[in-house]
Amino acid sequence: MGGKDTETAVVMEKSQRETVEKNHEYDDDTKINYRGWKVMPFIIGNETFEKLGAIGTLANLLVYLTTVFNLKNITATNIVNIFSGSTNLATLFGAFFSDTYFGRYKTIGFCTFASFVGLLVIQLTAAFKNLHPPHCAKESTTCKGPTPGQMAFLIFGFGSLLIGAAGIRPCNLAFGADQFNPNTESGKKGVNSFFNWYFFTFTFAQMVSLTLIVYVQSNVSWAIGLAIPAALMLISCLVFFMGANLYVKVKPQGSPITSIVQVIVVAIKKRTLQFSSHKFDYLPPKSLNSKLPYTPQFRCLDKAAILTPEDNINPDGSPTDEWNLCSVQQVEEVKCLVRVIPIWVSAILYYLVIVQQHTIMVFQALQSDRRLGKNTNFKIPAATYYVFLMLSLTLWLPIYDRVIVPLLRRLTGKEGGVTLLQRMGIGIFLAILSMLVSAVVEQSRRSMALSSPIGVQPRKGAISSMSALWLIPQLTLAGLADAFTSVGQVEFYYKQFPENMRSIAGALFYCGIAGSSYLSTFLISIIHSVTRTSQVGNWLPEDLNKGRLDYFYYMIAALEVLNLGYFLVIAKWFKYKGSSGSDINGDGGGSIQLNQVFKPSETSSSSNGV
């Protein structure tokens, strides 16, 4: 999901900056040689080439699997969804191993090389005839599929890419911020500028990948089109390691996951104890986290902090055995995570809309008129249409920040115009509209394909005379939905999690996308199986003209309506971090202002309501 990293880059800026400042707060800065912008060519260069390489391959993967590997639409869609879900889920493990054992430098270095290996393997499957099925002529109705050995080699490439994404996604932003001294004015400005450049380079990489590289793959040669990303990833590796002796390499400080597990284990151990006023409350003197007030929610976890005669305390106030006694602070930190989970579940359902626009929409485009004008033979590659979703998101963000927010601020009196939960709810509503428009457009595409086709897509069916540009409205709505829900969601995670859990917050965002990819795979498989024997026929056949993809879109829209109802209930129940009830809308939290992303020279000192 290319657009998700962009959204993360937008909303992570302030939270990452605060975390970096606290990570270095107790370091002796005189012993650390912060080189700042002197090493940015290596880090930003690595990031740019890495994204050009990864997105250049993944953006057109669905078309590659169906045209070169001769896989069925459903099979290819499920493979892409499972792969996308696994890469996003793996970020949780990547963040854990980076924080606990290896540090960001080693993690990024190893995972960048793993990504290169993965892209090289996939390129080899296109370059050598014995690594993919025989070419299938356009007039053929049936084609020979891949052998087990060919699929195994391809899956090995996917596995290497998965390892690469697991380490790069949760670490690259924080590693770049590590290079600036957070205790100097120039260092703080450097961090701001770095995130701005990250956002710019990532957007640039997406645009190039979804246009030029995808065009070469679809219209010139798959071998050349896949060799370009592999070569770019190799350059990314070389550029990154060229700065090896210049980087600030923050040592791993341990993962907050350990503390979470400790609370759960101790609460289970002490589950038979009666609730007591004798609770152990301790906050380490150099803790990254701010002190949290006690909340009565999820009282079963409170038992982890009950102080018994068997529990011993060290002279500095810490417990002698952290697996037998936890502090109230630790318990409250876990409660923050537990409170966010229901919101996260709603996000999984929301991302179903974005997943469809990233996968099945490609098949719609393949069976639509992709020519730019009736008198030209130039066709926009099917995978390139996803760029319209990104464009609507990218163009809307500054408009929202500079025009809409000030207007809403005057109407509501809230610094951010609306709360973060309200913003996410608006996005879910727009996602419903996107699915309804998708269904209507598909009805029109299918009708025109049956009544006035302009050609035949090999092994798919008739090409509709409807212009594929009619797919832009549904993609635009999906992009606007992402600008509200995804951006609001990541900011919500970062503000509601304790400071030392912000790497988990980023990983949780990706895990939500992973859950949606798996759920989409499940729904597609079920619908494909159940409707095959129905009166209206298979909703999702190889030839969309013989199916009812519009019914599938209506079904997703219905799920989103239920999801919106669920979200409204959960949002009303939710209590913000540090809130005892008076701050129900979270107006005390600091915001991540988008003008910090789009204009490096300007920063906001105001606090934004959530």
What does the pLDDT average to over 504-512? Answer: 79
For residues 433 and 552, membership in a common domain is answered with yes
Asked which of 196, 211, 243 is the last residue of a domain, the reply is 243
The answer to whether residue 173 scores a pLDDT higher than 90 is no
400-452 tens-digit pLDDT: 878 888 888 888 877 677 888 998 999 999 999 999 999 999 999 999 999 99
Phi, psi of 467 (to 5 degrees): -65, 140
CA atoms within 13 A on the CB side of 56: 34
- Look at 75-89, 149-163, 243-257, 453-467 and tell me which has the smallest mean pLDDT: 243-257
Q: Characterize 2-33 residue by residue with b for buried, 16 or more Cβ atoms within 10 angstroms of its Cβ, and e for exposed.
A: bbbbbbbbbbbbbbbbbbbbbbbeeeeeeeee
Residue 280 lies in a domain: no
> Could you tell me which residue, 33 or 300, shows the higher pLDDT?
300
Q: How many CB atoms lie within 10 A of CB 224?
A: 13
Supply the range of the domain harboring residue 71: 36-243
The answer to whether residue 594 scores a pLDDT higher than 50 is no
Asked which of 243, 260, 290 is the last residue of a domain, the reply is 243
For residues 105 and 210, membership in a common domain is answered with yes
CA-CA-CA-CA torsion sign (101, 103, 106, 110): positive
What percent of the chain lies above the pLDDT cut of 70?
Answer: 85
The confidence score (pLDDT) of residue 578 equals 61
Q: Highest-confidence range of 382-396, 481-495, 544-558, by mean pLDDT?
A: 544-558
- Look at 362-376, 461-475, 481-495, 589-603 and tell me which has the smallest mean pLDDT: 589-603
The answer to whether residue 137 scores a pLDDT higher than 60 is yes
In the numeric block, the tokens 């005669």 are attached to 309
558-583 tens-digit pLDDT: 999 999 999 999 998 887 766 544 33
For residues 362 and 502, membership in a common domain is answered with yes
The confidence score (pLDDT) of residue 465 equals 92
**pLDDT class for 3, splitting at 50, 70, 90?**
low
Record the pTM. 0.76
For residues 224 and 364, membership in a common domain is answered with no
Written as six digits, the tokens of 20 are: 């970096």
Written as six digits, the tokens of 118 are: 């993965």
Asked which of 220, 243, 266 is the last residue of a domain, the reply is 243
The answer to whether residue 55 scores a pLDDT higher than 80 is no
- Look at 96-105, 342-351, 518-527 and tell me which has the smallest mean pLDDT: 96-105
Residue 516 lies in a domain: yes
Query: Are the beta carbons of 24 and 183 closer than 8 angstroms?
Result: yes
What does the pLDDT average to over 76-92? Answer: 87
Number of folded domains that form the chain: 2
Residue 332 lies in a domain: no
Phi, psi of 23 (to 5 degrees): -60, -35
The answer to whether residue 217 scores a pLDDT higher than 70 is yes
For residues 231 and 348, membership in a common domain is answered with no
- Nearest-angstrom CA–CA distance, 267 and 303: 5
* SS3 state of residue 40: helix
Within 8 A by CB and 6+ apart from 414, the residues are: 408, 585, 587, 609
- Nearest-angstrom CA–CA distance, 316 and 114: 44
Residue 421 lies in a domain: yes
The confidence score (pLDDT) of residue 26 equals 40
The answer to whether residue 319 scores a pLDDT higher than 80 is yes
The confidence score (pLDDT) of residue 585 equals 40
Burial class from Cβ neighbours inside 10 Å (0-12, 13-18, 19+) for residue 110 reads middle
Residue 148 lies in a domain: yes
For residues 102 and 237, membership in a common domain is answered with yes
Residue 559 lies in a domain: yes
Pick the closest to residue 476 from 437, 419, 424, 526 (CA basis).
437
For residues 430 and 555, membership in a common domain is answered with yes
For residues 221 and 362, membership in a common domain is answered with no
Look up residue 605 and give its amino acid: S
Task: Write the CATH number for 352.
Answer: 1.20.1250.20
> Could you tell me which residue, 32 or 21, shows the higher pLDDT?
32
> Could you tell me which residue, 186 or 315, shows the higher pLDDT?
315
The answer to whether residue 125 scores a pLDDT higher than 90 is yes
The answer to whether residue 598 scores a pLDDT higher than 50 is no
Residue 322 lies in a domain: no
Residue 317 lies in a domain: no
Within 8 A by CB and 6+ apart from 29, the residues are: 181, 183
Pick the closest to residue 252 from 319, 320, 190, 175 (CA basis).
175
The answer to whether residue 145 scores a pLDDT higher than 50 is yes
Query: Are the beta carbons of 488 and 423 closer than 8 angstroms?
Result: yes
Written as six digits, the tokens of 222 are: 């798959």
